[in-house]
Amino acid sequence: MMTKNDFLDILRDYLKGAFSELEINDILRDYEEFFLNGELQGKSDEEIIKTLGSPKSIAKELTEEMKGQGKSTSSSNSELKDKVSKDAKNLWKNVKRQGKKAGNKTKEFLDSNSVINGKISSAGVKLIIIVISVLLFFPALTIVMSMIASGLGLVGMSIANFIGYLGAAFLCGIDISMGVFGFFACVAWTGFIILCWILYCLVYKGLKYLVVSYVSWVKTRNMYVRVKNQQENTEGNEKNTESATEKNEEIEEISVEDKAYEEKPIFTEDIDGDYKAENIDDKEEKFNE
């Protein structure tokens, strides 16, 4: 039997390649919210999955919908992958593997059970998110500034390398040996710059993955808070409805009792007749005496 986690994992696999990581996380978050709402209504994972359909059909519909809106070209990413060497790919795989392990650990922190079941209040969840975001802001700002400075430095090095080729060609007209030496020096410099660009792209890709994961983590926790608030509002409305129903029943019971009391017969005539008969008997006794 397929569970919620199995459904989301299979859907993620089908969505890969057609959507970006951020878009995939947004889609999975919507379906996770659907599961949470279904669980609060007392439905099992199997019943919810039957309502949604198969992950393959869902991914196909979403992909066709995206193609209808317009295709986005990602040729630059494929070219970058072609340029990356085998060692760089292995390095990236290791980094990604470690990132997934860390991501699985963070998923256990402030999970749906802790938030929705009331172990942590909604205000507490928001406070934790704010504190973590503030703590990460300054290191993230430092990293961003370093990446910008490194990128500008690599651009400057690339321009200087191009100028070096022009200088080597100029030297060939003056001294062929100096020109050849300058040319091979520029070739070596080009290889160093390419290596730096590869490392820069890998670091950028890793940082982007971390940012996307953190943004998705925050959005998921906010979704848990939203589901919890909806649950509390629903329970509050049910309690108000029950109390109103009980009050209406009490009012109806009181009105029925009052009505029954008003309908009871009052035997005034018999009481008056008995009273008159007693008076007549008393008078006759006095008269006889």
pLDDT over threshold 60, residue 41? yes
Consecutive H or E run containing 70: none
Model pLDDT, residue 111:
61
Question: E strands along the chain, which residues?
Answer: none
DSSP state of 19: B
CB 164 within 8 A of CB 191: no
Q: How confident is the model at residue 72 (pLDDT cuts 50, 70, 90)?
A: very low
CA distance 129 to 220: 11
Residue 244: both structure tokens together: 């109103």
Tell me, what's the pLDDT at 196?
92
Tell me the pLDDT band of 268, cut-offs 50, 70 and 90. Answer: very low
The model's pLDDT over 175-233, given as tens digits with 9 standing for 90+, comes to: 788 878 888 888 899 999 999 999 999 999 889 888 888 888 888 888 877 877 777 77
**58 touches 11 (CB < 8 A):** yes
Predicted pLDDT at 18: 78
With 0-12 / 13-18 / 19 or more C-beta atoms within 10 angstroms meaning exposed / middle / buried, residue 132 is middle
3-state secondary structure of 20: coil
| Residue 106: Cβ within 10 Å count | 13
Q: Binning pLDDT at 50, 70 and 90, where does residue 99 land?
A: low
pTM over 0.75: no
| Tens-digit pLDDT profile for residues 137-158 | 999 999 999 999 999 999 999 9
Q: Contact, 120 vs 155, CB < 8 A?
A: no
